[in-house]
Amino acid sequence: MGIIIITDKVAQQSDLSIIDHYIKNSNDINALQVEDSRLSKSKSYLKIIGIPFYPHSNSQEKLTLLDVETILKQNHIFNNISLSSKPRIIKILPKLDMAIVWIDIWDVQSGQNAKLLINRCFNVGNYIAMIRGANMNPRVPQCKNCWKWGHSTFSCRIQGAKCVKCNSSHKSKHHREFGWYCKANAKTNPPRLETKKGEPCPHSFKCSNCKGDHQANLNSCPFWRHHFNRKWHIKKQAEIHENRSQSIHSKVNGMNKQ
């Protein structure tokens, strides 16, 4: 059982001492049974830029969740800040050695904790990191059915499934059974040998999203590297749609000329 106090403005931490003093000095309430008052909680979303992706000197060990948690604990600006979920780490670009770290923190409705952190800088070894505000849930989903970006697996509209490796119409776990790359074919030049049973598929494929030489869920894919950047994905999808439309028009014009 508790007491809910409704205010005409967003309460601040400084208001709690007034509330505690009033309640605990009331003749109708046993002060020993009263817990300290607290503000209702919400979440704020932040991102930290300028943290090295390889934080350990003379080592190629990547930044881990434990590293991030240690960094936060060692910096006094994060005192009294509680994470509402695990941090998320992404490398900015393949050729850069810097990372972006997204953190979700417990906050009050006024966003007081986030306001105290945004645009603050702190040291990470020889680097200077900065805290920026972020949008809620910026991650762009990748469908595990068709392996396209921008919708979840449960909302996928295609019938059947696509293989993450070869983009053929079978589930990824059945690639060896149904993937034609692993089947013997004497008519090809040179003849293609069957992949031995029990061995992993040795063939390389084109990503169904970026057309790079990798399977569709590889974390070096440009689509994966930008999966926290919704604007990038929207722009990329518009470019793909435009290129597809131009290709169709070119084929139609070519047929008409014949």
What's the pTM value of the predicted model, to 2 decimals? 0.53
Compute the average pLDDT of residues 40-57: 87
| Rg, Å, the chain Cα set | 27
Q: How confident is the model at residue 6 (pLDDT cuts 50, 70, 90)?
A: confident
pLDDT of residue 2: 62
pLDDT > 70: percent of the chain: 88
For 180-219, the pLDDT digits (tens) are 777 777 777 777 778 777 777 787 788 999 999 899 998 8
pLDDT band at 73 (very low <50, low <70, confident <90, very high): very high
CATH no., domain 41-133: 3.30.70.330
- Rounded Cα distance between 258 and 124, Å, is 66
Q: b/e string for 181-208 if b means 16 or more Cβ within 10 A?
A: bbeeeeeeeeebeebeeeeeeeeebebb
Mean pLDDT of 83-89: 87
The per-residue pLDDT for range 102-125, each reduced to its tens digit, is 899 988 878 889 999 999 999 998
Helical segments of the chain, H only: 15-24, 65-74, 112-117, 175-178, 222-225, 230-257
Q: Residue 185, SS3?
A: strand
For the chain, domain boundaries: 41-133, 153-246
pLDDT, tens digit (0-9, with 9 covering 90-100), for 120-153: 999 998 899 999 998 776 678 899 999 999 998 9
Q: How many helices and strands (H and E) does the chain possess?
A: 6, 5
Peptide bond into 222 cis (omega under 30): no
